[in-house]
Amino acid sequence: MAKKRKHIETQPSVPLKKDESSTQRPKRTLLGWKDKVEEKEKDSPIFKNREKVLVTCSRRIKYRYRHLMLNLVSLLPHCKKDNKVESKESKGATLNELVELKNCSSCLFFECRKQKDLYLWMAKSPNGPSVKFLVNAVHTMEELKLTGNNLKGSRPILTFSTNFDKDPHWKLLKEIITQIFGIPKDHRKAKPYHDHVFVFSIVDDHIWFRNYQISVPHNETDKVDRGGLDKMTLVEVGPRFCLNPIKIFGGSFGGPTLYENPLYISPNQIRALEKRKKAGKYAKKIKAKTRRKMHEQSNPLEPDEFADMWKE
Protein backbone atom coordinates (compact mmCIF):
# COMPACT_ATOMS: atom_id res chain seq x y z
CA MET A 1 0.00 0.00 0.00
CA ALA A 2 1.08 3.55 -0.71
CA LYS A 3 2.13 5.57 2.26
CA LYS A 4 0.27 8.73 3.15
CA ARG A 5 2.18 11.94 2.82
CA LYS A 6 2.71 13.96 5.94
CA HIS A 7 0.45 16.98 6.19
CA ILE A 8 2.51 20.18 6.44
CA GLU A 9 0.80 23.02 8.16
CA THR A 10 0.48 25.96 5.83
CA GLN A 11 1.87 29.17 7.19
CA PRO A 12 -0.26 32.29 6.84
CA SER A 13 0.75 34.21 3.71
CA VAL A 14 2.19 37.64 4.49
CA PRO A 15 1.68 40.28 1.79
CA LEU A 16 4.95 41.49 0.36
CA LYS A 17 5.70 45.17 0.67
CA LYS A 18 6.14 46.93 -2.64
CA ASP A 19 9.24 49.01 -3.02
CA GLU A 20 8.35 52.58 -3.61
CA SER A 21 11.50 53.01 -5.67
CA SER A 22 10.55 50.20 -8.10
CA THR A 23 8.66 51.36 -11.16
CA GLN A 24 5.27 49.87 -11.88
CA ARG A 25 4.72 48.01 -15.08
CA PRO A 26 2.91 50.24 -17.60
CA LYS A 27 -0.45 49.24 -18.95
CA ARG A 28 -0.37 47.65 -22.34
CA THR A 29 -2.81 48.73 -25.07
CA LEU A 30 -3.34 47.88 -28.71
CA LEU A 31 -1.01 50.73 -29.69
CA GLY A 32 1.74 49.66 -27.30
CA TRP A 33 2.73 50.66 -23.78
CA LYS A 34 0.45 53.46 -22.66
CA ASP A 35 2.81 55.27 -20.28
CA LYS A 36 5.76 55.14 -22.69
CA VAL A 37 3.72 56.67 -25.51
CA GLU A 38 2.54 59.48 -23.25
CA GLU A 39 6.10 60.18 -22.08
CA LYS A 40 7.34 60.34 -25.67
CA GLU A 41 4.55 62.75 -26.65
CA LYS A 42 5.27 64.98 -23.66
CA ASP A 43 9.04 65.01 -23.97
CA SER A 44 9.32 65.22 -27.77
CA PRO A 45 10.63 68.68 -28.73
CA ILE A 46 9.70 68.20 -32.43
CA PHE A 47 7.00 70.57 -33.68
CA LYS A 48 4.15 68.78 -35.44
CA ASN A 49 2.47 70.74 -38.22
CA ARG A 50 -1.26 70.04 -38.11
CA GLU A 51 -2.21 72.42 -40.91
CA LYS A 52 -5.39 71.51 -42.84
CA VAL A 53 -6.84 73.59 -45.67
CA LEU A 54 -10.48 73.77 -46.71
CA VAL A 55 -10.93 74.28 -50.48
CA THR A 56 -14.33 75.36 -51.79
CA CYS A 57 -15.88 77.60 -54.42
CA SER A 58 -18.96 79.70 -55.08
CA ARG A 59 -22.01 78.66 -57.06
CA ARG A 60 -22.25 79.25 -60.82
CA ILE A 61 -18.48 78.97 -61.20
CA LYS A 62 -17.07 78.60 -64.71
CA TYR A 63 -15.80 75.16 -65.72
CA ARG A 64 -12.28 76.48 -66.38
CA TYR A 65 -11.97 77.92 -62.88
CA ARG A 66 -13.42 74.73 -61.39
CA HIS A 67 -10.69 72.70 -63.13
CA LEU A 68 -8.08 75.05 -61.65
CA MET A 69 -9.50 74.41 -58.18
CA LEU A 70 -9.41 70.64 -58.74
CA ASN A 71 -5.78 70.88 -59.90
CA LEU A 72 -4.86 72.60 -56.63
CA VAL A 73 -6.78 69.93 -54.68
CA SER A 74 -4.69 67.23 -56.37
CA LEU A 75 -1.48 69.12 -55.52
CA LEU A 76 -2.35 69.62 -51.83
CA PRO A 77 -2.93 66.28 -50.05
CA HIS A 78 -3.60 68.04 -46.72
CA CYS A 79 -6.68 69.86 -48.05
CA LYS A 80 -10.36 69.01 -47.69
CA LYS A 81 -12.85 69.76 -50.46
CA ASP A 82 -16.37 70.91 -49.60
CA ASN A 83 -19.61 71.79 -51.39
CA LYS A 84 -20.25 75.09 -53.11
CA VAL A 85 -21.11 78.16 -51.03
CA GLU A 86 -23.36 81.03 -52.04
CA SER A 87 -21.23 84.14 -52.55
CA LYS A 88 -23.18 86.73 -50.55
CA GLU A 89 -22.25 89.28 -47.91
CA SER A 90 -22.64 86.64 -45.18
CA LYS A 91 -20.25 84.16 -46.84
CA GLY A 92 -17.56 84.90 -44.24
CA ALA A 93 -19.63 83.56 -41.34
CA THR A 94 -20.65 80.41 -43.23
CA LEU A 95 -17.10 79.72 -44.36
CA ASN A 96 -15.75 80.13 -40.83
CA GLU A 97 -18.33 77.61 -39.61
CA LEU A 98 -17.37 75.17 -42.36
CA VAL A 99 -13.68 75.52 -41.49
CA GLU A 100 -14.46 74.79 -37.85
CA LEU A 101 -16.67 71.79 -38.70
CA LYS A 102 -14.01 70.30 -40.99
CA ASN A 103 -11.35 70.81 -38.28
CA CYS A 104 -9.23 72.99 -40.59
CA SER A 105 -7.08 76.02 -39.89
CA SER A 106 -7.01 77.70 -43.33
CA CYS A 107 -9.32 78.20 -46.28
CA LEU A 108 -9.01 78.70 -50.05
CA PHE A 109 -12.26 80.11 -51.45
CA PHE A 110 -12.71 80.56 -55.23
CA GLU A 111 -15.37 83.20 -55.86
CA CYS A 112 -16.64 83.68 -59.42
CA ARG A 113 -18.63 86.78 -60.38
CA LYS A 114 -20.59 87.35 -63.61
CA GLN A 115 -19.08 84.05 -64.85
CA LYS A 116 -16.07 86.09 -65.96
CA ASP A 117 -14.00 87.25 -62.98
CA LEU A 118 -12.34 84.88 -60.50
CA TYR A 119 -11.40 86.03 -56.99
CA LEU A 120 -9.35 83.91 -54.59
CA TRP A 121 -9.61 84.27 -50.81
CA MET A 122 -6.77 82.97 -48.62
CA ALA A 123 -7.82 83.07 -44.97
CA LYS A 124 -6.51 81.84 -41.64
CA SER A 125 -9.46 80.88 -39.48
CA PRO A 126 -10.83 81.96 -37.07
CA ASN A 127 -8.63 84.95 -36.15
CA GLY A 128 -7.23 85.92 -39.56
CA PRO A 129 -5.58 87.46 -41.46
CA SER A 130 -7.14 87.01 -44.89
CA VAL A 131 -6.22 88.15 -48.40
CA LYS A 132 -8.37 88.76 -51.47
CA PHE A 133 -6.78 88.23 -54.92
CA LEU A 134 -7.93 88.70 -58.48
CA VAL A 135 -6.87 85.66 -60.51
CA ASN A 136 -5.61 86.28 -64.05
CA ALA A 137 -3.84 84.27 -66.78
CA VAL A 138 -5.39 80.93 -65.77
CA HIS A 139 -4.04 77.80 -67.51
CA THR A 140 -5.06 74.39 -66.16
CA MET A 141 -3.21 71.09 -66.53
CA GLU A 142 -5.70 69.87 -69.13
CA GLU A 143 -5.11 72.92 -71.34
CA LEU A 144 -1.32 73.00 -71.17
CA LYS A 145 -0.54 69.27 -71.69
CA LEU A 146 3.02 69.69 -70.45
CA THR A 147 5.59 66.89 -70.33
CA GLY A 148 6.32 67.19 -66.59
CA ASN A 149 4.83 64.72 -64.15
CA ASN A 150 5.12 64.39 -60.37
CA LEU A 151 3.88 61.79 -57.94
CA LYS A 152 0.53 62.59 -56.37
CA GLY A 153 0.87 63.47 -52.69
CA SER A 154 4.58 64.25 -52.71
CA ARG A 155 5.77 67.29 -50.77
CA PRO A 156 6.82 70.38 -52.75
CA ILE A 157 9.76 72.73 -52.22
CA LEU A 158 8.48 76.32 -51.89
CA THR A 159 10.66 78.98 -53.52
CA PHE A 160 10.04 82.73 -53.39
CA SER A 161 11.66 85.61 -55.24
CA THR A 162 13.72 88.15 -53.31
CA ASN A 163 10.98 90.78 -53.75
CA PHE A 164 8.98 89.16 -50.95
CA ASP A 165 11.44 90.51 -48.35
CA LYS A 166 11.17 94.18 -49.32
CA ASP A 167 7.79 95.41 -48.06
CA PRO A 168 5.84 94.27 -44.98
CA HIS A 169 2.71 93.32 -46.93
CA TRP A 170 4.77 91.02 -49.18
CA LYS A 171 6.30 89.41 -46.07
CA LEU A 172 2.81 88.78 -44.69
CA LEU A 173 1.69 87.25 -48.00
CA LYS A 174 4.77 85.03 -48.04
CA GLU A 175 3.98 83.70 -44.56
CA ILE A 176 0.33 83.00 -45.47
CA ILE A 177 1.35 81.19 -48.67
CA THR A 178 3.96 79.06 -46.86
CA GLN A 179 1.44 77.98 -44.23
CA ILE A 180 -1.26 77.10 -46.78
CA PHE A 181 0.83 75.53 -49.58
CA GLY A 182 3.44 73.92 -47.33
CA ILE A 183 2.43 70.27 -46.86
CA PRO A 184 3.03 68.91 -43.31
CA LYS A 185 5.91 66.47 -42.95
CA ASP A 186 4.13 63.57 -41.22
CA HIS A 187 0.75 63.89 -42.92
CA ARG A 188 -0.90 60.53 -43.57
CA LYS A 189 -1.64 61.29 -47.26
CA ALA A 190 1.72 62.92 -48.03
CA LYS A 191 4.73 61.08 -49.42
CA PRO A 192 7.98 61.53 -47.45
CA TYR A 193 10.10 62.99 -50.28
CA HIS A 194 10.23 65.98 -52.63
CA ASP A 195 9.96 65.73 -56.41
CA HIS A 196 8.48 69.08 -57.48
CA VAL A 197 8.84 72.81 -56.79
CA PHE A 198 6.25 75.55 -56.24
CA VAL A 199 7.64 78.86 -57.54
CA PHE A 200 6.12 82.18 -56.39
CA SER A 201 7.62 85.24 -58.07
CA ILE A 202 6.60 88.92 -58.06
CA VAL A 203 6.52 90.68 -61.45
CA ASP A 204 4.68 94.02 -61.92
CA ASP A 205 3.18 93.76 -58.40
CA HIS A 206 1.57 90.42 -59.32
CA ILE A 207 2.33 86.98 -57.86
CA TRP A 208 3.00 84.42 -60.60
CA PHE A 209 2.65 80.71 -59.73
CA ARG A 210 4.50 77.89 -61.50
CA ASN A 211 4.89 74.19 -60.69
CA TYR A 212 8.02 72.31 -61.83
CA GLN A 213 9.05 68.67 -61.62
CA ILE A 214 12.59 67.85 -60.43
CA SER A 215 13.84 65.38 -63.02
CA VAL A 216 16.96 63.35 -62.19
CA PRO A 217 18.77 60.87 -64.51
CA HIS A 218 18.08 57.29 -63.38
CA ASN A 219 20.90 55.42 -65.11
CA GLU A 220 23.06 53.42 -62.73
CA THR A 221 26.24 54.72 -64.34
CA ASP A 222 25.02 58.31 -64.14
CA LYS A 223 23.90 58.59 -60.52
CA VAL A 224 23.65 62.05 -59.03
CA ASP A 225 25.93 62.70 -56.08
CA ARG A 226 24.91 64.82 -53.13
CA GLY A 227 25.18 68.42 -54.21
CA GLY A 228 25.35 67.57 -57.91
CA LEU A 229 22.60 69.94 -59.01
CA ASP A 230 24.06 70.43 -62.49
CA LYS A 231 22.56 67.16 -63.70
CA MET A 232 19.08 67.96 -62.33
CA THR A 233 16.57 69.73 -64.57
CA LEU A 234 13.17 71.33 -64.02
CA VAL A 235 10.21 70.41 -66.20
CA GLU A 236 6.98 72.38 -65.87
CA VAL A 237 3.91 70.46 -64.74
CA GLY A 238 1.22 73.10 -64.30
CA PRO A 239 -1.15 74.71 -63.55
CA ARG A 240 -0.34 78.39 -64.14
CA PHE A 241 -2.07 81.43 -62.72
CA CYS A 242 -1.38 85.01 -61.64
CA LEU A 243 -2.58 86.60 -58.39
CA ASN A 244 -3.25 90.33 -58.15
CA PRO A 245 -3.59 91.29 -54.45
CA ILE A 246 -6.55 93.58 -53.74
CA LYS A 247 -6.83 93.87 -49.93
CA ILE A 248 -5.41 92.31 -46.79
CA PHE A 249 -7.85 92.10 -43.88
CA GLY A 250 -7.05 91.71 -40.19
CA GLY A 251 -9.77 89.08 -39.58
CA SER A 252 -11.02 85.99 -41.33
CA PHE A 253 -12.96 87.04 -44.48
CA GLY A 254 -13.27 90.58 -43.16
CA GLY A 255 -12.19 92.93 -40.43
CA PRO A 256 -9.96 96.00 -40.50
CA THR A 257 -8.09 96.66 -43.75
CA LEU A 258 -4.34 96.22 -43.23
CA TYR A 259 -3.32 96.90 -46.84
CA GLU A 260 -5.07 98.08 -50.01
CA ASN A 261 -3.46 97.90 -53.44
CA PRO A 262 -3.41 101.44 -54.94
CA LEU A 263 -2.70 100.09 -58.46
CA TYR A 264 -5.70 97.76 -58.55
CA ILE A 265 -8.38 98.42 -61.17
CA SER A 266 -11.49 96.27 -61.05
CA PRO A 267 -12.45 94.38 -64.22
CA ASN A 268 -15.82 96.17 -64.23
CA GLN A 269 -14.05 99.50 -64.67
CA ILE A 270 -11.90 98.07 -67.48
CA ARG A 271 -14.98 96.80 -69.32
CA ALA A 272 -16.73 100.18 -68.84
CA LEU A 273 -13.73 102.00 -70.35
CA GLU A 274 -13.73 99.64 -73.34
CA LYS A 275 -17.44 100.32 -73.90
CA ARG A 276 -16.84 104.05 -73.77
CA LYS A 277 -14.09 103.74 -76.34
CA LYS A 278 -16.39 101.79 -78.67
CA ALA A 279 -19.18 104.32 -78.10
CA GLY A 280 -16.67 107.11 -78.79
CA LYS A 281 -15.89 105.67 -82.23
CA TYR A 282 -19.60 105.62 -83.11
CA ALA A 283 -20.03 109.19 -81.84
CA LYS A 284 -17.08 110.33 -83.97
CA LYS A 285 -18.73 108.84 -87.07
CA ILE A 286 -22.00 110.66 -86.37
CA LYS A 287 -20.20 113.97 -85.76
CA ALA A 288 -18.29 113.61 -89.03
CA LYS A 289 -21.52 112.88 -90.89
CA THR A 290 -23.32 115.95 -89.48
CA ARG A 291 -20.23 118.09 -90.15
CA ARG A 292 -20.25 116.95 -93.77
CA LYS A 293 -23.94 117.86 -94.17
CA MET A 294 -23.39 121.30 -92.64
CA HIS A 295 -20.50 121.87 -95.02
CA GLU A 296 -22.62 120.88 -98.04
CA GLN A 297 -25.39 123.26 -96.97
CA SER A 298 -23.03 126.18 -96.40
CA ASN A 299 -21.12 125.57 -99.65
CA PRO A 300 -23.69 124.63 -102.34
CA LEU A 301 -22.41 123.49 -105.70
CA GLU A 302 -22.77 125.77 -108.76
CA PRO A 303 -25.48 124.71 -111.25
CA ASP A 304 -24.15 122.72 -114.16
CA GLU A 305 -24.49 124.51 -117.53
CA PHE A 306 -24.75 121.32 -119.52
CA ALA A 307 -27.38 119.69 -117.29
CA ASP A 308 -30.30 121.14 -119.27
CA MET A 309 -28.79 120.06 -122.54
CA TRP A 310 -28.56 116.47 -121.39
CA LYS A 311 -32.18 116.55 -120.25
CA GLU A 312 -33.34 117.65 -123.71
Report the chain's C-alpha Rg in angstroms.
35
Q: CA 208 to CA 217: how far, in whole Å?
A: 29
CA distances in angstroms from 123 to 54, 108, 233, 249, listed in the order given = 10, 7, 34, 9
Mean pLDDT of the region 227-239: 81
Nearest Cα residue to 128 out of 109, 105, 153, 162: 105
Q: CA 157 to CA 201: how far, in whole Å?
A: 14
Mean pLDDT of the region 224-232: 68
**pLDDT on residue 37:** 46
Q: CA 200 to CA 204: how far, in whole Å?
A: 13
Nearest Cα residue to 205 out of 133, 109, 125, 279: 133
Q: Kind of pairing, strands 233-236 and 154-160?
A: unpaired
Is-contact 77 187, C-beta < 8 A? Answer: yes
Mean pLDDT of the region 226-254: 88
Is-contact 122 181, C-beta < 8 A? Answer: no
CA distances in angstroms from 102 to 54, 69, 84, 92, 146, listed in the order given = 8, 18, 14, 15, 34
* Per-residue confidence band for 40, with pLDDT thresholds at 50, 70 and 90: very low
* Per-residue confidence band for 39, with pLDDT thresholds at 50, 70 and 90: very low
Per DSSP, the three-state class of 140 is coil
* Per-residue confidence band for 274, with pLDDT thresholds at 50, 70 and 90: confident
**pLDDT on residue 180:** 95
Mean pLDDT of the region 233-243: 93
**pLDDT of residue 15 exceeding 70:** no
Q: How many CB atoms lie within 10 A of CB 240?
A: 20
**Tens digits of residue pLDDT in 84-116:** 998 888 889 999 999 999 999 999 999 999 989
**pLDDT on residue 170:** 96
pLDDT over 90, % of the chain = 51
**pLDDT on residue 56:** 95
**pLDDT on residue 147:** 85
Mean pLDDT of the region 122-141: 94
- Helix H or strand E encompassing 247: strand 240-251
Q: Kind of pairing, strands 79-81 and 53-57?
A: parallel
Mean pLDDT of the region 64-80: 94
Of 35-39, 57-61, 191-195, which range is least confident?
Answer: 35-39
**Tens digits of residue pLDDT in 133-184:** 999 999 999 898 888 888 888 999 999 999 999 999 999 999 999 999 999 9
Angle at Cα 84 formed by Cα 82 and Cα 87, nearest 5°? 130
Is-contact 62 112, C-beta < 8 A? Answer: yes
Q: CA 20 to CA 284: how far, in whole Å?
A: 102
Per DSSP, the three-state class of 177 is helix
